[in-house]
Amino acid sequence: MDLTVFLAVLAAAVMHAGWNVLVKLKLDRFLSLVLIQSMIGVMGLAMVAAFPWPAPASIPYAVTSGILHLGYNLFLVRSYRTGDLSQVYPIARGAAPLLTLAAAWAVMQEQPSLPGALGVGLLVLGIWFVSLLGQRGIRPDGMTLFFALGTSVFIASYTIVDGMGGRLSGEPASYAGMVFVFDSILFGLVALAMRGPGIARDVAPYWKTGLAGALLSGGAYWIAIWAMTHAPVASVAALRETSILVVMLLSMRVLKETVSLPRLAGAALIVAGAALIRLG
Protein backbone atom coordinates (compact mmCIF):
# COMPACT_ATOMS: atom_id res chain seq x y z
CA MET A 1 0.00 0.00 0.00
CA ASP A 2 1.29 3.44 -0.94
CA LEU A 3 2.63 5.39 2.07
CA THR A 4 0.33 8.37 1.47
CA VAL A 5 -2.75 6.14 1.40
CA PHE A 6 -1.50 4.23 4.44
CA LEU A 7 -1.04 7.38 6.53
CA ALA A 8 -4.34 8.84 5.36
CA VAL A 9 -6.24 5.71 6.46
CA LEU A 10 -4.49 5.77 9.84
CA ALA A 11 -5.61 9.38 10.26
CA ALA A 12 -9.15 8.31 9.35
CA ALA A 13 -8.98 5.59 12.02
CA VAL A 14 -8.18 8.17 14.69
CA MET A 15 -11.05 10.37 13.50
CA HIS A 16 -13.44 7.43 13.46
CA ALA A 17 -12.61 6.46 17.02
CA GLY A 18 -13.16 10.04 18.15
CA TRP A 19 -16.75 10.29 16.95
CA ASN A 20 -17.66 6.95 18.53
CA VAL A 21 -16.52 8.30 21.89
CA LEU A 22 -18.64 11.41 21.35
CA VAL A 23 -21.69 9.18 20.83
CA LYS A 24 -20.91 7.23 24.00
CA LEU A 25 -20.51 10.39 26.09
CA LYS A 26 -24.08 11.53 25.48
CA LEU A 27 -26.85 10.56 27.86
CA ASP A 28 -29.04 9.61 24.90
CA ARG A 29 -26.94 7.88 22.22
CA PHE A 30 -29.75 7.96 19.69
CA LEU A 31 -30.12 11.74 19.92
CA SER A 32 -26.36 12.12 19.69
CA LEU A 33 -26.34 10.12 16.48
CA VAL A 34 -29.31 12.07 15.10
CA LEU A 35 -27.42 15.31 15.62
CA ILE A 36 -24.19 14.00 14.08
CA GLN A 37 -25.96 12.48 11.07
CA SER A 38 -27.93 15.68 10.45
CA MET A 39 -24.73 17.70 10.28
CA ILE A 40 -23.08 15.07 8.11
CA GLY A 41 -25.94 15.62 5.67
CA VAL A 42 -25.16 19.33 5.55
CA MET A 43 -21.49 18.47 5.04
CA GLY A 44 -22.50 16.14 2.20
CA LEU A 45 -24.50 18.88 0.47
CA ALA A 46 -21.47 21.17 0.63
CA MET A 47 -19.26 18.44 -0.86
CA VAL A 48 -21.68 17.74 -3.71
CA ALA A 49 -21.81 21.47 -4.47
CA ALA A 50 -18.05 21.96 -4.26
CA PHE A 51 -16.85 19.01 -6.36
CA PRO A 52 -17.78 17.75 -9.85
CA TRP A 53 -20.73 15.38 -9.90
CA PRO A 54 -19.96 11.66 -9.81
CA ALA A 55 -20.68 9.46 -12.80
CA PRO A 56 -24.40 8.51 -13.00
CA ALA A 57 -23.54 4.81 -12.79
CA SER A 58 -22.34 5.34 -9.21
CA ILE A 59 -25.51 6.97 -7.86
CA PRO A 60 -27.40 3.67 -7.22
CA TYR A 61 -24.41 2.61 -5.13
CA ALA A 62 -24.66 5.82 -3.09
CA VAL A 63 -28.37 5.19 -2.46
CA THR A 64 -27.68 1.59 -1.44
CA SER A 65 -24.90 2.75 0.84
CA GLY A 66 -27.27 5.22 2.51
CA ILE A 67 -29.69 2.38 3.28
CA LEU A 68 -26.90 0.19 4.66
CA HIS A 69 -25.59 3.06 6.76
CA LEU A 70 -29.07 3.45 8.24
CA GLY A 71 -28.96 -0.15 9.41
CA TYR A 72 -25.44 0.34 10.72
CA ASN A 73 -26.42 3.41 12.73
CA LEU A 74 -29.50 1.78 14.25
CA PHE A 75 -27.60 -1.36 15.24
CA LEU A 76 -24.66 0.66 16.59
CA VAL A 77 -26.76 2.91 18.82
CA ARG A 78 -28.67 -0.12 20.14
CA SER A 79 -25.36 -1.78 21.01
CA TYR A 80 -24.15 1.29 22.89
CA ARG A 81 -27.39 1.50 24.87
CA THR A 82 -26.38 -1.46 27.03
CA GLY A 83 -22.76 -2.18 26.06
CA ASP A 84 -19.44 -0.88 27.28
CA LEU A 85 -17.57 1.11 24.61
CA SER A 86 -14.31 -0.86 24.84
CA GLN A 87 -16.31 -4.11 24.43
CA VAL A 88 -18.96 -3.15 21.87
CA TYR A 89 -16.62 -1.26 19.56
CA PRO A 90 -14.13 -4.13 19.03
CA ILE A 91 -16.93 -6.66 18.55
CA ALA A 92 -18.76 -4.40 16.12
CA ARG A 93 -15.62 -3.78 14.10
CA GLY A 94 -13.89 -7.14 14.61
CA ALA A 95 -15.64 -9.40 12.12
CA ALA A 96 -15.99 -6.73 9.43
CA PRO A 97 -12.46 -6.98 7.92
CA LEU A 98 -12.77 -10.73 7.32
CA LEU A 99 -16.26 -10.33 5.87
CA THR A 100 -14.96 -7.54 3.66
CA LEU A 101 -11.95 -9.61 2.54
CA ALA A 102 -14.23 -12.50 1.53
CA ALA A 103 -16.72 -10.21 -0.23
CA ALA A 104 -13.99 -8.28 -2.06
CA TRP A 105 -12.61 -11.56 -3.38
CA ALA A 106 -16.03 -12.91 -4.38
CA VAL A 107 -17.68 -9.75 -5.70
CA MET A 108 -14.80 -7.55 -6.85
CA GLN A 109 -12.30 -10.30 -7.73
CA GLU A 110 -9.66 -8.65 -5.55
CA GLN A 111 -6.91 -11.03 -4.53
CA PRO A 112 -4.75 -9.62 -1.71
CA SER A 113 -1.00 -10.19 -1.61
CA LEU A 114 0.34 -12.67 0.93
CA PRO A 115 1.62 -9.94 3.31
CA GLY A 116 -1.68 -8.11 2.94
CA ALA A 117 -3.75 -11.20 3.73
CA LEU A 118 -1.54 -12.08 6.71
CA GLY A 119 -1.82 -8.49 7.90
CA VAL A 120 -5.61 -8.60 7.79
CA GLY A 121 -5.56 -11.88 9.71
CA LEU A 122 -3.23 -10.58 12.43
CA LEU A 123 -5.20 -7.38 12.76
CA VAL A 124 -8.48 -9.26 13.16
CA LEU A 125 -6.87 -11.63 15.67
CA GLY A 126 -5.71 -8.61 17.64
CA ILE A 127 -9.20 -7.12 17.61
CA TRP A 128 -10.66 -10.34 19.00
CA PHE A 129 -7.95 -10.50 21.66
CA VAL A 130 -8.98 -7.00 22.65
CA SER A 131 -12.66 -7.90 22.56
CA LEU A 132 -12.93 -11.42 23.97
CA LEU A 133 -9.84 -12.14 26.05
CA GLY A 134 -9.98 -8.63 27.44
CA GLN A 135 -13.35 -9.17 29.10
CA ARG A 136 -12.89 -8.80 32.82
CA GLY A 137 -16.04 -8.06 34.72
CA ILE A 138 -17.72 -6.58 31.62
CA ARG A 139 -19.69 -9.10 29.60
CA PRO A 140 -22.16 -7.95 26.97
CA ASP A 141 -25.58 -9.58 27.13
CA GLY A 142 -26.93 -11.65 24.27
CA MET A 143 -28.86 -8.86 22.60
CA THR A 144 -25.94 -6.45 22.83
CA LEU A 145 -23.72 -9.09 21.21
CA PHE A 146 -26.31 -9.70 18.49
CA PHE A 147 -26.52 -6.03 17.55
CA ALA A 148 -22.75 -5.56 17.74
CA LEU A 149 -22.15 -8.49 15.37
CA GLY A 150 -24.98 -7.31 13.12
CA THR A 151 -23.16 -3.99 12.92
CA SER A 152 -20.18 -5.88 11.46
CA VAL A 153 -22.35 -7.20 8.62
CA PHE A 154 -23.53 -3.69 7.76
CA ILE A 155 -19.95 -2.38 7.89
CA ALA A 156 -18.71 -5.02 5.46
CA SER A 157 -21.70 -4.48 3.17
CA TYR A 158 -21.43 -0.72 2.83
CA THR A 159 -17.66 -0.94 2.52
CA ILE A 160 -17.95 -3.17 -0.56
CA VAL A 161 -20.72 -1.02 -2.03
CA ASP A 162 -18.73 2.18 -1.55
CA GLY A 163 -15.52 0.61 -2.80
CA MET A 164 -17.31 -0.17 -6.06
CA GLY A 165 -19.28 3.08 -6.16
CA GLY A 166 -16.27 5.25 -5.41
CA ARG A 167 -14.31 3.68 -8.25
CA LEU A 168 -17.18 4.03 -10.69
CA SER A 169 -17.82 7.63 -9.69
CA GLY A 170 -14.59 9.15 -10.96
CA GLU A 171 -15.11 11.72 -8.18
CA PRO A 172 -14.76 10.10 -4.73
CA ALA A 173 -15.39 13.39 -2.90
CA SER A 174 -18.77 14.13 -4.46
CA TYR A 175 -19.70 10.43 -4.28
CA ALA A 176 -18.97 10.50 -0.54
CA GLY A 177 -21.07 13.65 -0.27
CA MET A 178 -24.03 11.87 -1.88
CA VAL A 179 -23.65 8.95 0.51
CA PHE A 180 -23.74 11.39 3.43
CA VAL A 181 -26.86 13.12 2.09
CA PHE A 182 -28.80 9.88 1.55
CA ASP A 183 -27.67 8.55 4.93
CA SER A 184 -28.75 11.76 6.68
CA ILE A 185 -32.18 11.90 5.00
CA LEU A 186 -33.01 8.27 5.76
CA PHE A 187 -31.84 8.44 9.35
CA GLY A 188 -33.66 11.73 9.85
CA LEU A 189 -36.95 10.22 8.65
CA VAL A 190 -36.54 7.28 11.02
CA ALA A 191 -35.72 9.63 13.89
CA LEU A 192 -38.84 11.72 13.23
CA ALA A 193 -40.98 8.59 13.15
CA MET A 194 -39.50 7.34 16.41
CA ARG A 195 -39.24 10.56 18.46
CA GLY A 196 -41.48 13.10 16.72
CA PRO A 197 -40.73 16.67 15.54
CA GLY A 198 -39.64 17.73 19.03
CA ILE A 199 -36.36 15.97 18.39
CA ALA A 200 -34.93 19.13 16.82
CA ARG A 201 -35.46 21.03 20.07
CA ASP A 202 -33.82 18.22 22.04
CA VAL A 203 -30.60 18.16 20.04
CA ALA A 204 -30.20 21.89 19.30
CA PRO A 205 -28.26 22.75 22.50
CA TYR A 206 -25.55 20.24 21.56
CA TRP A 207 -24.85 21.48 18.04
CA LYS A 208 -21.16 22.08 18.75
CA THR A 209 -20.64 18.46 19.75
CA GLY A 210 -22.66 17.40 16.71
CA LEU A 211 -20.49 19.49 14.43
CA ALA A 212 -17.33 17.95 15.87
CA GLY A 213 -18.77 14.46 15.46
CA ALA A 214 -19.82 15.17 11.87
CA LEU A 215 -16.39 16.46 10.91
CA LEU A 216 -14.71 13.42 12.48
CA SER A 217 -17.11 10.79 11.15
CA GLY A 218 -17.64 12.32 7.72
CA GLY A 219 -13.98 13.16 7.25
CA ALA A 220 -12.92 9.64 8.24
CA TYR A 221 -15.23 7.96 5.75
CA TRP A 222 -14.44 10.45 3.00
CA ILE A 223 -10.79 9.44 3.37
CA ALA A 224 -11.75 5.75 3.34
CA ILE A 225 -13.72 6.06 0.09
CA TRP A 226 -10.85 7.95 -1.52
CA ALA A 227 -8.36 5.33 -0.27
CA MET A 228 -10.42 2.49 -1.74
CA THR A 229 -9.95 4.02 -5.19
CA HIS A 230 -6.17 3.70 -4.74
CA ALA A 231 -5.73 0.48 -2.74
CA PRO A 232 -7.44 -2.91 -2.21
CA VAL A 233 -10.76 -2.50 -0.45
CA ALA A 234 -10.05 -5.24 2.11
CA SER A 235 -6.72 -3.70 3.10
CA VAL A 236 -8.26 -0.26 3.59
CA ALA A 237 -11.15 -1.78 5.57
CA ALA A 238 -8.80 -3.67 7.86
CA LEU A 239 -6.41 -0.77 8.38
CA ARG A 240 -9.30 1.45 9.47
CA GLU A 241 -9.77 -0.90 12.42
CA THR A 242 -6.56 0.34 14.03
CA SER A 243 -9.06 2.79 15.50
CA ILE A 244 -9.46 0.08 18.16
CA LEU A 245 -6.16 1.27 19.68
CA VAL A 246 -7.43 4.83 19.89
CA VAL A 247 -10.70 3.69 21.47
CA MET A 248 -8.74 1.75 24.10
CA LEU A 249 -6.76 4.82 25.06
CA LEU A 250 -9.81 7.08 25.07
CA SER A 251 -11.74 4.53 27.11
CA MET A 252 -8.98 4.57 29.71
CA ARG A 253 -8.51 8.31 29.90
CA VAL A 254 -11.93 9.78 29.12
CA LEU A 255 -14.47 7.11 30.09
CA LYS A 256 -12.40 5.56 32.91
CA GLU A 257 -12.92 2.04 31.57
CA THR A 258 -10.57 -0.82 32.49
CA VAL A 259 -8.09 -2.07 29.87
CA SER A 260 -6.45 -5.41 30.71
CA LEU A 261 -3.19 -7.04 29.66
CA PRO A 262 -4.87 -9.29 27.05
CA ARG A 263 -6.17 -6.17 25.35
CA LEU A 264 -2.66 -4.74 25.29
CA ALA A 265 -1.43 -7.99 23.69
CA GLY A 266 -4.19 -7.61 21.11
CA ALA A 267 -3.01 -4.07 20.47
CA ALA A 268 0.45 -5.41 19.59
CA LEU A 269 -1.09 -7.83 17.09
CA ILE A 270 -3.06 -4.97 15.52
CA VAL A 271 0.13 -2.95 15.07
CA ALA A 272 1.89 -5.96 13.50
CA GLY A 273 -1.06 -6.51 11.15
CA ALA A 274 -1.02 -2.86 10.10
CA ALA A 275 2.70 -3.12 9.31
CA LEU A 276 2.12 -6.16 7.08
CA ILE A 277 -0.73 -4.39 5.29
CA ARG A 278 1.67 -1.53 4.57
CA LEU A 279 4.15 -4.00 3.06
CA GLY A 280 1.37 -5.56 1.00
Q: What is the model's pLDDT at position 258?
A: 64
Mean pLDDT, rounded, for 196-219:
84
Predicted structure pTM score:
0.85
Above 80 in pLDDT, residue 246?
no
Mean pLDDT, rounded, for 213-226:
91
Q: What is the model's pLDDT at position 59?
A: 96
The mean of the pLDDT values for the chain is 84
Q: Tens digit of pLDDT for each residue in 96-117?
A: 888 898 899 889 988 878 888 8
Q: Label residue 42 by pLDDT band (50, 70, 90).
A: very high
Above 80 in pLDDT, residue 141?
no
Q: What is the model's pLDDT at position 30?
A: 79
> Of 30 and 232, which is predicted with more confidence?
232
CA distance 56 to 152: 29
| End-to-end Cα separation, the chain, in angstroms | 6
> Of 203 and 161, which is predicted with more confidence?
161
Residues 6 or more apart in contact with residue 54 via CB below 8 angstroms = 62, 165, 168, 169, 170, 171, 174, 175, 178
Would you say 144 and 83 are in contact if contact means Cβ atoms under 8 Å apart?
yes
